[in-house]
Amino acid sequence: MSTAGDSRAITPPDIQARKGGVPLVCLTAYTTPIARLVDRHCDIVLVGDSVGMVLHGLPSTLGVTLDMMIMHAKAVRGGLEKALMVVDLPFGSYEESPEQAFRNAARLMAETGCAAVKLEGGEAMAATIQFLGARGIPVMAHIGLTPQAVNAFGGYRVQGRGEDAERIRRDAISVAQAGAFSVVLEKVPEQLARRITSEIGIPTIGIGASPACDGQILVSDDMLGLFSPFRPKFVKRYAELGDQAGAAIAAYADEVRKRRFPAAEHVFADAPKDADADATGSGGAA
């Protein structure tokens, strides 16, 4: 974690060195304004492929493209100063071969300025993680429930229960040995998350994986209650901003229909006044 007066941006080695220390704070961001809000509080800001569902209304993350990720990552980059920016490699951009993964990860880093990429998969992706790391691309791994494989899982189900726990454990060991600097554990039982966290030498970042992990991540829109009906068990709503926004829009609509807005203070007079200048420089144009 950056200390007071330390303006240095957080790096992947910084994150890896936090293993077993103060828990890592991670959130998603897809836009510059949200990036600015979370930067001062987070160690990692993830530009996740969840953007497809959260902002684009897609039914899953499978329709997200590399161009979409680059567009949103550029926006987020403009709002960050300290937090480590990690960007998801979307479905179909890395699974074919380590060489394909390198081409797309290199493009992602070159065009967005991100410091690391995230990809889903355990043992099957170990060779790719090692290939990328050997070529200067830090990788955050993602195991357990991997949303890009939701069809293979038959839905967004908890992973690693019963005999399946050993599969997730092997995945964790494989990505750590391959050189990932951290790993997201999604929707796995607490006992398994605790065991994995104690057995591997890189930080575990939980989402629905209990406080036993070395850090936590949530989708910002979910925890803020922003326009999302998605309320999984592992999400705590820290605000209900969507409800507040809805009430504000309803009040605006009511005032417009009753000709109460714009009021006199929002109207320009025939003679120019100093107050006519828009301090934001945007002119308020839609």
Q: Residue 6 annotated as binding?
A: no
Residues of the chain with CATH 3.20.20.60: 12-239
Q: Residue 120 annotated as binding?
A: yes
186 has catalytic annotation? yes
Distance CA 168, CA 197 (A): 12
Domain 12-239 has CATH 3.50.50.60: no
Ordered per-residue pLDDT tens for the chain, 286 residues = 444 445 689 999 999 999 999 999 999 999 999 999 999 999 999 999 999 999 999 999 999 999 999 999 999 999 999 999 999 999 999 999 999 999 999 999 999 999 999 999 999 999 999 999 999 999 999 999 999 998 888 888 999 999 999 999 999 999 999 999 999 999 999 999 999 999 999 999 999 999 999 999 999 999 999 976 667 889 999 999 999 999 999 999 999 999 999 999 999 998 876 656 665 555 565 6
As beta bridge partners, residue 140 has: 118, 182
At residue 123, the pLDDT reads: 98
Distance CA 83, CA 41 (A): 8
Q: Residue 221 annotated as binding?
A: no
Question: Which whole-number Å values give the CA distances from 226 to 39, 128, 245, 271, in the listed order?
Answer: 18, 35, 8, 42
pTM value is: 0.92
Catalytic residue among 96, 123, 186, 265: 186
Distance CA 117, CA 113 (A): 11
At residue 5, the pLDDT reads: 44
68, 88 Cβ separation under 8 angstroms: no
Cis amide bond preceding 12, omega within 30: no
Distance CA 210, CA 212 (A): 5
At residue 42, the pLDDT reads: 98
